[in-house]
Structure 1
């Protein structure tokens, strides 16, 4: 058997991430793209060694030669007898978990179970095509099978539990508006991003089937000490990772790395590799550097009469060694954090509730006549409702032996309670309601810039076939200048005729926008409210001037708007971020976006980027 080649020279992300591991002289100082590709190769090798232990791989890459090359090389690391099942995005529950085999049941006259993809993938790998479009129910069933190691089937008169252990490759095509379900990605240890790689960056990996097979046989004998587990847990805590699965998956990856190197014990390099591959992509913060101790601080904290541990003390030396190991693993993992990851997480955490994209499809709703099929339910076919013949036969099949004894003639006896009709799910339309502050304070500061930004947003909504509405408030009340429409010409005309000046009836504007949003919601349209204001209310709800009462009425209207559970964005148009506008956004449970010294195009870009997330 060939000796297992060392994997230490494959440093994840960049060389500085693992300072103890050197690169071969022939590939000194490789490009970041080459390092990323070799990191992907190392991840594929570790996953091929322990598919069920690592959970799986989230492979973020568009359809093309890069993803095809990774998939082909990974498949070459798996034995031919290991099952590899591909799951489409719109997979049904029958195909995923199994159920009643309709053909065999009708032929034999008794219920016959059919295996699903989850049980067929036992001992192998499940490939999720377009994982970002996987339904929540399918993701939950896959996650449950990963956790329990079995598939439970209780439907169509069948009750069965089939053991299954598999790994998952979730193919994410990298669409900005969609991502694989969190319930699934949390259980997948390896996260790879190959979007920036091109075909010229691809090369063969230094692993083959024989090497991975030898490591797989050696894996049960690999042992990890308490120091390695403590170092991985400490690294997870320092990076702000709350899930307990991450350090456990990192420990399994460290064992697989040791087996790949032909060792039966986990060493520091294995822990550093595992932490860089498993923990770095999950980081939510950078580790806080340790502050240097002040001179004499140790002496002051040592109680009188108690001797300080000597360097040769075994217990003290062990604690120091574990602390140093944790620090080295943490340093290697921090260096492996992908550039810009924390900024993306910070922006993603500011996303508004409800629909997250201007002009995109709104919230999903059930339908009986059109949309994407999502299953069937009991019911009789009537006007506009489609009969699901297969599900009807499936519901009637278990009762055929009893019905044949009661009736004569006919091979299949179907009764009214067997009828099943198809259910559909479709996306509702989206309407963006712009509430523009045209009062004197805003007109003095940046009403023209707000108009320009709204005009750009209107054009963007028109391209996406999104409905838009324009509501302006000034003087003593709010006025709906443009009801929800798709006409860009009408929207621009109403916006150009918007005058400025007068008081700020903020409470009236919030109530009018809230009422319009509720009306759209009742019509099956998903509303999105965008307020452009400085938050300086000076006109009360009854139309009388007075800042204290006006501000109180505005906060009361904002709290009422928050109870409506609508998606709201408040853009602060004051010269500097205003505390009143921030408090108002918090009261209405809205996303607050301060834009000091912003022109129309910057305002448009910031609003669209925030809503897109």
Structure 2
């Protein structure tokens, strides 16, 4: 019997052939026979892309060898010049630049569809969300075995044209309403659902969208975008409409399909680990790739496109780039000088550029106040030690700031020494008030010093959010909250990455508002142990 995910994957490919306006599909599966069998069903004319593909390969550029041989400018076409499907391998490694270029290509028209092959192993290892938003479908084949890949592909062509399919009255409003109940804030989801319903109708030789088409379309396009699980409706049914309205609805060919049936179709495809996936995605959103800051250089690091420059000490000439710049002018220069051979001018010189990552500093800012301080400090100590064990591979440093009573204290300066960390964390005091603003100010000072030393700081604030000590040391809850908000705006203005971890028994609205001011990830983790805390921080950093 065919695996349900396999059926959805093959159906998504068939719908894409009918309507390229669906954008594409993201297929999450590790390399293996299951994925090979599925990719064999893709149009053989599909062109393959790599996450590190260059702009010249995508959009075309100068054909260097042909230009030098002929003496005049010869352009070569890029992969995006020809309409058709694109296969993006290792999609989880797609850079922000490539994701933006592919997103613009999909937005321009319906000439291309994208099949993104996501090989990620963890929740946060996934396709760039901005690019994934432009793909109608997302299929997870992680649990699909080879014996569940029964061949169900039908090669028969439908006699119905997509433009001839009609959508019943009220369907657009209904799908939009259901998307809202699922917590989906993008209008693309509703548009994809309508397109998928029409394509499914064509697949079944129908000129009018039916309830079956809508159920399949909503399940395939909305389930993976849901951010909450809607509760079953328990409200009383609305009164029956008058006979005149019933006759009008019939004359307008409306589709009498309860919202609950469509929601049930979506619920059936909601993943069991939806909460974990959402936590990882929200934590990662806007936080880059979790590494240190990028710094430009001309000696080492990741290669960047070369730029025009002058020969100087330390500069490395990009020979290929220089030849590309000089090639179009060879005929003119030969005629002007009367000399044969390759002629290169100073304006043709291209200098290599590289980008390297700085070391990263994790500043744990821990609430050590109140009766539960010892528990939270124990969690923080365990999390710091777990993270330090991985710091050698990631080149991370760790610092610890504790705030209690009326002030904050740097208990552990930036270090990568596990022995020194355990010695400093041996016995930390607790109790007293909650000077949250003082803790944030001290963490900001540590972050500023780290930036001057070439590190990239990230602040992780662990607190229950009940600030009651102002910056001047007075017990004033209102002023304490105001001070925390002011420092949060300073942190945001300086571009310091921050994570807010709510350790209270219940999520604190004030902490959520503080995270919004910081433009930071907010993670409510009541009673989190050291292992879960460290994993949450690593996930939020995008590792």
Equivalent in 462, 471, 475 of residue 401 of structure 2: 471
Residues 384 and 68 (structure 1), Cα distance of their counterparts in 2 relative to 1, 3 Å cut = farther
Q: Does 1:334 align with 2:263?
A: no
Q: Secondary structure at the match of 1:274?
A: helix
CA contact (8 A) 2:160 2:205 kept: no
Q: Secondary structure at the match of 2:254?
A: helix
Aligned twin of 2:450: 520
Q: Deviations over 1:409-431 (max 9, x none)?
A: 24222111111122323333221
- Partners of 1:404 and 1:378 in 2: how far apart? 23
Alpha-carbon shift at residue 399 of structure 1 (Å): 2.0
Between 284-293 and 95-104, report the one with greater CA deviation: 284-293
Give unmatched runs, 5+ long, in structure 2: none
Q: CA distance change for structure 1 residues 417 and 60 in 2, over 3 Å: closer, same or farther?
A: same
Which residue of 39, 47, 66 maps to 1:104?
Answer: 66
1 CA distance for matches of 2:188 and 2:520? 33
CA distance in 2, matches of 1:587, 1:532: 16
Q: C-alpha distance in 2, partners of 1:476/1:335?
A: 49
Please point out which of 107, 113, 117 is paired with 1:171. 117
Q: Summarize the Cα distance change of 1:606–1:379 in structure 2 as closer, same or farther, 3 Å threshold.
A: closer
Where in structure 2 are the equivalents of 1:367-378 lying within 5 Å? 367-378=297-308
In structure 1, the partner of 2:355 is 425
Distance between the aligned counterparts of 2:71 and 2:35, measured in 1? 46
1:531 maps to 2:472: no
Determine helix, strand or coil for the equivalent of 1:362.
coil
**Distance (Å, rounded) in 2 between the aligned partners of 1:440 and 1:293:** 47
SS in 2 for 1:324: coil
Pairing of 1:449-468 with structure 2 (within 5 A): 449-462=379-392, 464-468=394-398
Q: Deviations over 1:334-355 (max 9, x none)?
A: 3443223753564246426664
Unaligned ranges ≥5, structure 1: 1-29, 150-163, 303-307
The aligned counterpart of 2:145 is 198
Which TM-score applies when normalising by structure 2? Answer: 0.85
What residue in structure 1 maps to residue 77 of structure 2?
115
C-alpha spacing 1:175/1:372, structure 2 compared with 1 (3 Å)? farther
Question: 1:429-578, aligned counterparts within 5 Å?
Answer: 429-439=359-369, 441=371, 443=373, 446-462=376-392, 464-474=394-404, 477-500=407-430, 505-535=435-465, 541=471, 544=473, 546-547=475-476, 553-573=483-503
2:14 equivalent in structure 1: 45
Change (3 A) 1:399 1:98: same
**Displacement after TM superposition at 1:517 (Å):** 1.1
The equivalent of 1:18 in structure 2 is none
Q: 1:203 to 1:108 in 2, by over 3 A?
A: same
- Corresponding residue for residue 161 of structure 1: none
Secondary structure, aligned partner of 2:168:
helix
Which residue pairs with 1:351 in the alignment? Answer: 283
Tell me how many residue pairs correspond in the alignment.
538
Compared with structure 1, are the counterparts of its residues 335 and 584 closer, same or farther at alpha carbon in structure 2 (3 Å cutoff)? closer
Of 216, 235, 242, which aligns to 2:175? 235
Q: 1:309 aligns with which of 243, 248, 251?
A: 243
Q: Is the 8 A contact 1:57 1:169 kept in 2?
A: yes
User: 1:569 deviation in Å?
Assistant: 2.6
How big is the shift at 1:66?
1.6
d(CA) in 1 for partners of 2:130, 2:470: 47
**TM-score, normalised via structure 1 length:** 0.77
Choose 1 or 2 for highest CA Rg.
Answer: 1
- Give the equivalent residue in structure 2 for 1:130: 90
CA contact (8 A) 1:66 1:198 kept: yes
Distance 1:101 1:406 in 2: 24
* Structure 1 residue 178, shift from structure 2 partner: 3.4
Offset of residue 181 of structure 1? 2.6
1:220 match? 161
Which digits, 9 at most, give the CA deviation of each residue in 1:136-169, with x for residues without a partner? Answer: 33333333333334xxxxxxxxxxxxxx923221
* Alpha-carbon distance in 2 for matches of 1:581, 1:270: 44
> Any idea what SS the aligned residue of 2:270 has?
coil
After superposition, the Cα gap between the structure-2 partners of 1:338 and 1:592, relative to the gap in structure 1 and judged at 3 Å, is closer
CA RMSD of aligned residues (A): 3.5
Structure 1 residue 449: Cα displacement? 4.3
Q: Which residue of 2 aligns with 1:21?
A: none
Q: CA deviation at 1:116?
A: 0.5
Which residue in the other structure is 2:100 paired with? Answer: 140
Shift of 1:205: 2.2
Query: What CA distance in whole angstroms lies between the structure 2 residues aligned with 1:318 and 1:133?
Result: 52
The DSSP-based 3-state class of the residue aligned with 1:191 is: strand
In structure 2, relative to structure 1, the CA distance for the partners of 1:34 and 1:547 (3 Å cut) is same
- What is residue 27 of structure 1 aligned with on the other side? none
C-alpha distance in 1, partners of 2:234/2:216?
26
